[in-house]
């Protein structure tokens, strides 16, 4: 154990080390070479004790006096040859991070209109913003999204727990990214604190990505820097739904995600109204646990009579109704060719295991606020191994959290369904820069990290 003085000296050595840039050469067998571009960055070999910063790997001076700019070099390796998660896994074990500042503040943003689903109604966004600054000067941003009845935390709880995590980060000695993420997982365990954990993980990983000069989508595999999202129509009247469908059709959205599950008869009327306005759209139905198994099958029967086949039926029954979920999945697949997604029913690796063993769903919906960033990586691996399709979604979030999820989806390139639309439902956008939006398409053009940030002094 290091004493408080030794920890202070250790942090000082890292914070004030020379301006040379660290190089991680020959990562694994793929031949990658990254030039880590923030000064004072310390990289340790996993085989070396991190309490001896003098035993760091060799340094390479990568600043170009002529251009006055830092550079990032990558060996020319075909994307197919790269393990999707290789960079991130390697980075967790080799990058040692020292946190200089860490703090959180409420992030409150009005909605254009109330957002109503089967299980709750939201009048405004009440999330938590997190800012982490490393001793090398690089900053990372995160957001803990809150949605009553879906996330276990409300805003006061998320604020309190994020404050606890930030206090730990400010006081902790330098350690590998893997170790610090593990510590955060212990401070904010399980689904009960998943949203706060996700926000802190986002900020840490963003700060590290900024440090090495790599955009998040490339860090997560580099499959693409573009995604195409659906857009959500909440529970509204048939006339309002038709108006929204017409608007979204003009904006180029091909897939509409329709919130259902409160009233079966009204749901069918809304579907008919949308079909009249946007006849060529693709449908995702999201019941948010609102139906019984019998009602969910009845909805599919009615749609079949209308000549409508949803591309996906998301969380048709209560999260704990495993038998009902499996029943709806069998009928949907065998009788109507419709895939069923588990959302609220999937909040951990144990849930995924249960779904796989019981053949209870065709698709797993991953949301960072349900499982965190590290948990999402684990679930992605398990679901892909089991042959399940993947969907990525979110709560009602700003472009901070949604941008992080978008980078992850683009980088992995393995998500069949992308539902990252809720920033479009906000009446204002507090996030500066970040991804480019063109209708349903998001493009990540930033040079490093997330690319988006907040004016911290303007956050309440």
Residues known to be catalytic: 259, 367
According to DSSP H, which parts of 307-367 are helical? 322-336, 349-358
The pair of three-digit structure tokens given for residue 13, joined into one six-digit string = 């050595």
C-alpha 175/C-alpha 51 separation (Å) is 9
286 is in an annotated binding site: yes
C-alpha 184/C-alpha 96 separation (Å) is 15
User: In the 3-class helix/strand/coil scheme, how is 229-271 assigned residue by residue?
Assistant: CCEEECCCCHHHHHHHHHHHHHCCCCEEEEECCCCHHHHHHHH
Burial class (CB in 10 A: 0-12, 13-18, 19+), 77: exposed
Torsion angles phi and psi, residue 445, rounded to 5: -110, 0
Instruction: Compute the radius of gyration of the chain from its Cα atoms.
Output: 23
- 361: nearest Cα among 387, 393, 380, 385: 387
Residue 130 bridge partners (DSSP): 104, 142
Strand duo 255-259 + 231-233: pairing: parallel
Residue 432 bridge partners (DSSP): 453
Sign of the torsion angle spanned by Cα atoms 361, 367, 369, 374: positive
What is the per-residue DSSP string for 7-35? HHHHHHHHHT--S-EEEEEEETTTTEEEE
Q: Which residues are annotated as a binding site?
A: 286, 314, 343
Q: Per the annotation, where are the binding residues for Mg(2+)?
A: 286, 314, 343
């Amino acid at each position: 154990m290091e004493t408080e003085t030794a920890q202070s000296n250790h942090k000082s050595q890292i914070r004030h080390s020379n301006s040379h840039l660290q190089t991680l050469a020959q990562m694994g067998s793929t031949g990658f070479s990254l030039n880590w571009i923030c000064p004072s960055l310390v990289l340790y070999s996993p085989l070396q004790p991190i309490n001896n910063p003098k035993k760091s790997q060799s340094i390479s001076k990568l600043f170009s006096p002529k251009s006055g700019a830092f550079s990032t070099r990558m060996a020319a390796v075909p994307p197919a040859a790269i393990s999707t998660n290789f960079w991130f896994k390697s980075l967790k074990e080799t990058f040692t991070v020292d946190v200089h500042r860490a703090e959180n503040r409420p992030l409150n943003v009005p909605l254009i209109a109330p957002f109503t689903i089967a299980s709750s109604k939201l009048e405004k966004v009440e999330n938590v913003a997190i800012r982490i600054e490393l001793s090398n000067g690089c900053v990372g941003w995160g957001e803990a999204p809150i949605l009553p009845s879906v996330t276990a935390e409300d805003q006061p709880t998320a604020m309190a727990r994020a404050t606890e995590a930030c206090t730990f980060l400010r006081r902790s000695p330098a350690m590998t990214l893997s170790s610090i993420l593990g510590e955060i997982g212990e401070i904010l365990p399980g689904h009960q604190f998943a949203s706060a954990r996700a926000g802190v993980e986002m900020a840490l990983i963003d700060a590290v990505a900024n440090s090495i000069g790599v955009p998040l989508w490339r860090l997560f595999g580099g499959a693409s820097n573009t995604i195409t999202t659906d857009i959500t129509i909440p529970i509204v009247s048939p006339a309002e739904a038709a108006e929204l469908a017409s608007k979204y059709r003009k904006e180029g959205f091909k897939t509409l995600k329709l919130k259902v599950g409160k009233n079966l008869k009204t749901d069918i009327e809304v579907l008919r109204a949308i079909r009249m306005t946007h006849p060529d759209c693709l449908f995702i139905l999201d019941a948010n646990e609102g139906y019984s198994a019998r009602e969910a099958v009845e909805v599919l029967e009615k749609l079949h009579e209308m000549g409508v086949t949803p591309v996906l039926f998301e969380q048709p029954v209560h999260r704990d109704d495993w038998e009902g979920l499996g029943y709806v999945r069998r009928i949907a697949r065998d009788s109507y060719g419709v895939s069923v997604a588990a959302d609220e029913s999937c909040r951990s690796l144990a849930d995924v295991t249960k779904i796989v063993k019981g053949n209870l769903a065709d698709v797993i919906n991953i949301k960072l606020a349900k499982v965190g960033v590290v948990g999402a990586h684990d679930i992605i691996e398990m679901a892909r191994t089991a042959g399940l399709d993947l969907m990525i979604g979110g709560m009602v979030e700003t472009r901070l959290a949604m941008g992080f999820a978008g980078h992850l989806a683009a980088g992995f390139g393995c998500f069949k369904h992308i539902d990252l639309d809720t920033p479009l439902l906000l009446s204002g956008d507090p996030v500066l820069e970040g991804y480019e939006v063109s209708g349903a398409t998001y493009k990540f053009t930033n040079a490093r990290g997330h690319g988006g940030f907040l004016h911290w002094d303007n956050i309440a």
